[in-house]
A and B are shown apart, each in its own frame.
Chain A
Amino acid sequence: MSEPRTVSQAIGLGKHVNGPAGGLTILDGLDLEIGAGEAVAILGASGSGKSTLLSLLAGLDEATAGEVWLCGRRIADLDEDGRSELRGGRVGFVFQNFQLLPTLTARENVLLPLELTGTEGAAERADAALERVGLTARAGHYPRQLSGGEQQRVAIARAYAPRPSVLFADEPTGNLDQQTGEQIIELLLELREAADAALILVTHDPRLAERCDRRLRMRDGRLESLT
């Protein structure tokens, strides 16, 4: 199936939540369009709604206004399972706290999304992905036996192994020291290039944002362009 050139799009996107202290508007009529292979950094202060935007774009959460398109499908047309299926094989994730399954080895963690989507040649792909991030030697280790940087590299291998069209990264260097963080940035961009995947990156880190094609800042529930 050929993917459309626009992989992710938000039109008039809004998110309003009712908390104990009254209603709160997190996103307010936000528009965004991201093309295939494009790397976009979303910056912003804590609590500005960056992660909420990411979760809406990835179909992890539901908007209260506007619409979201992912890989050519309108998210609102799909139920939870439909959204899961849409993500399968097309969307990769890298989380701030790595989110590796503690009971699986590094290799098994990379294998998991391939197995869940029934991808052919899963084992070879997983091994190749691990080699790409330089962790072949640690394939049989459990997350708890790996350093933070190594865990994030496993997570990147897991995100890229299914060859996704779009990769969401939520503060991928947030839990790492500066040097390791830089290595991770290199790796993310390098793999993005190789896979020709769009990269949507939420970060505080200006150095990381600097390396992206486009930089956007969240302010008052909307995005403003920095480039």
Chain B
Amino acid sequence: MNVWRIALRLLRRDWRSGELYLLAAALVITVAAVTAVGFFTDRVETSIERQGSELIASDLAIDSSAPIPQTLDAEAKARGLATARTVEFRSVVVADQGPRLVNIKAVDPGYPLRGELRVRQGVDTLDEPAPQGPSQGEVWVESRLLALLGVRIGDTLGVGETRLRIGAVLTQEPDAGRSFFNIAPRVMMNAADLEATGLIGPASRATYRLLIAGEDERVASYRDWLEPRLAANMSAESASKARPEFATAVDRAARFLHLATLTTLLVAGAAIALASHRLVERQTDAVAVMRCLGAPRRLLIRIFVLRLVLFGLIASLVGCLLGWLAQAGLVDTLSGWLGEELPPPSAAPLLVGVTTGLVSLLGFALPPLLQLAQVTPLRALRRDAGRPRASAAITLAAAALALGLLILWQAQDPTLAWKLIAGVLGALATLILCVLLLVRLAGGLAGRTRGVWRLGLAALARRPSGAVLQIGGFGIGILALLLLAVVRLDLLRAWEDSLPTDAPNYFLINIQPQEVEPLRDFLAESGIERTDILPMIRGRLTHIGDHQVEPSDYQDPRAERLATREFNLSYGTEPQPDNRIAAGAWWPDAEAPPQFSVETGIAETLGIALGDTLTFWVSGHAVSGPVTSLREVQWDSFNVNFFVVSSPALLRDEAATYITSFHLPAGSDALIAELSRRFPSVTPLDVDAILDQVRQVIDRGVLAVEYVFAFTLVAGLLVMYAGIQASLEDRRAEHGILRTLGAGRRALLGSLAVEFAAAGLLAGLLASVFAETTGWLLAEQLFELEFSFNPWLWVMGVLGSGLAIGLAGTLATYPLLIRPPLQALRRAG
């Protein structure tokens, strides 16, 4: 007989009899949560990558200090990719009022390949998208250049040896952000006019750029082709997740979402374990009979494993479907998150979902089921032949292994994963120990009480392993609910508060040293309190220790880019308020010897360790000092921050410009106009739009997390239901006997209420301790948010769970009491 067929038939029969509903529900919930989050983050990540494309106006940009050979262009076209070229350089444009240093970008008609170019045709008109750059004979300029030069749209500008008409005001240029701090006014012209200007010769300093865009695989294969052909003066940059202002917010949202998934995984895992335990209890006799009827143990093992795998596959697929629907609902709820329609999800989360389902099922359910094969056939004749006790050690080890694997896989952050695993194992051990202690205490109390109290407490103490399972199940369920409260009330609120309504929305850059004090006074007079005006010095990183930094040292395109470009360095006596020293120590005062403090992310990217000596090339000479601290920076605070900061002694004497950021209430345009008039060289940058987007990311992120936590809620309720169901079998016989002996329904009901309420109180107490600890750890370690102690959690956790579980357990078990005792005895016999 085909084992598959037997397994399938037995599975069908078990399903029909309702034995598997609980297990199926737990599994479906686990898989649905994992897949929903998988699909969702997949889509968000793709979307962020696309927005990264907009930042470089393409999918791949090749930069060079010399004209880029035609072969690169031709190869891209041959591969079906779109291309466009730009040349960027500094020059002077001339109007009647005089010359002005500007940043000119000459673009060909294909530009931009990604993102949107927007222009305004008149002073008072709204801006509108432009499908391509300026036509021949025309330039587009930034509005402040009009003011600086006293010209208007329609006037002409002298550009080198030619004159070009100002056709429009440039309001949005997708890849302008690449030269954020090269802040001369921007001018865009048609590449066809370039020759006539005579500005670009063989020795000119210019950045030539070849932009490439197309299907992901084609771009990737082109990049592979390109890599060995890149000349020393060229670099290639892919559309990475290059939105630093979103990075922290999206990263946090992703962490919350993964946390929600992991919590669901843990809680549903407990439900799966409880449901499997019950399944095993109920199948013991069936197995004994099957062994009597001639089924060898290995056949039973094969049947069990196959049946479990089949069941796991089916439930996982249902979970995947549910997960897909849930993420569709989630996306619908969050439509417009990140400012665009989300791209469709990939199929990868399906694989993740099914694997998670199978691994958790096998980890939690297989050991007890395999123990079942050890049932002696003698049990069919003599019930006292006993059932094999699933070895607690093996069961726990398998469950821990499965959970560990899943956490390691899902958390995508080994450190976080190990912490979580250690936490879960520690919590489990503590839980078991506490329950055993408390059960013993209940046993002691039972001896000193009477009536329903005695029956109830004794019932709890009589089955220590059952009590561990049951209270453990209740505890985990309540823990899930309390964690939801902690996350919602404390963590998510802290996150929302992390971007205060008065977060800086204006940056002032290019402040000259002599302007610092007058500007500070001006800002103070204007009622702007924040006057942190920080020095900024340009420097190229040349050495880490003795090692000379070469772009080719780095695989990571971001590291490569950083190694080629100049850093913005700063110095100060105090770290910025939103910085946290992660390693080492900040220097004590302004007179401290030369040293650096480096942001942790960049240190990791470039391979900089505490104690390394960094050398920067600043204004024609080398400055160096040891790294004495690593800082974590909250980039989405919108305060001015630097990757590398030095002690004042190191950079105080270098030529610097200054930068500041502050919050300007809406409708303060007059203030900015006045500022531009009094400090003409200072460039104000309005980041309100970006700020709004980040705020939106946070708001929607909170919503997404709440949505996903709904799965955890269901899993929590399931595990509690499973906990109640777990003892039903034993109880059936017990109640039959007690009622035959004359125990009244009221007494039994009372004892049930006492037992369940006691279990609920114990579970609630343990869960509250764990929830508070976990909340604190999460806030401090994972999210870097302020955590506040919540007394309500304890009231709700302990009293609420005692009441709820007392009531739910009593109600669920009540049907046993209204049956005639004979029936109960017969079923149990």
Contacts and interface: CB of A to CB of B under 8 A. Distances in A.
Contacts of B292: 58, 60, 87, 93, 99
B380 A116 contact: no
Interface residues of A, number: 38
Contacts of B827: 144
A170 B378 CA distance: 12
B294 interface: yes
A91 interface: yes
B581 interface: no
B408 interface: no
Nearest to B299: A116
B13 A108 contact: yes
A99 B381 CA distance: 9
Interface stretch (A7-15, A38-46, A77-85, A179-187): A77-85
Given A60-B376, A170-B381, A84 B6 contact: no
B298 interface: yes
Interface string A92-113: 0101010101111000100011
Interface string B290-304: 111111111100000
Contact of A80 (B17, B289, B297, B299): B297
Nearest to B379: A60
B379 to A, nearest CB: 9
Residue of B1, B9, B14 most packed against chain A (CB within 10 A): B1
A91 B295 CA distance: 12
A81 B381 contact: no
A119 B6 CA distance: 12
Nearest to A90: B294
Contacts of B286: 101-103
B302 to A, nearest CB: 12
Nearest to B17: A103
B297 A87 contact: no
B127 interface: no
Interface in B353-409: 376-378, 380-382
Contact of B290 (A95, A112, A122): A112
- In this complex, the interface size class of chain B, counting residues with CB under 8 Å from chain A, is 20 to 34
B63 interface: no
B177 interface: no
B439 to A, nearest CB: 25
A51 B14 CA distance: 31
A113 B380 contact: no
Nearest to B6: A115
B829 interface: yes
B490 interface: no
A116 B381 contact: no
Contact of A97 (B17, B19, B290, B829): B829
Given A93-B292, A93-B380, A158-B293, 5 more contacts: A82-B296, A84-B296, A99-B292, A103-B13, A112-B290
Interface of A: 51, 54-55, 58, 60-61, 80-82, 84-91, 93, 95, 97, 99, 101-104, 108, 112-113, 115-119, 122, 142, 144, 158, 170
18 contacts: A55-B378, A55-B381, A55-B382, A60-B376, A60-B378, A80-B297, A85-B294, A85-B296, A87-B293, A93-B292, A99-B288, A101-B285, A103-B17, A108-B13, A112-B290, A113-B293, A117-B294, A122-B1
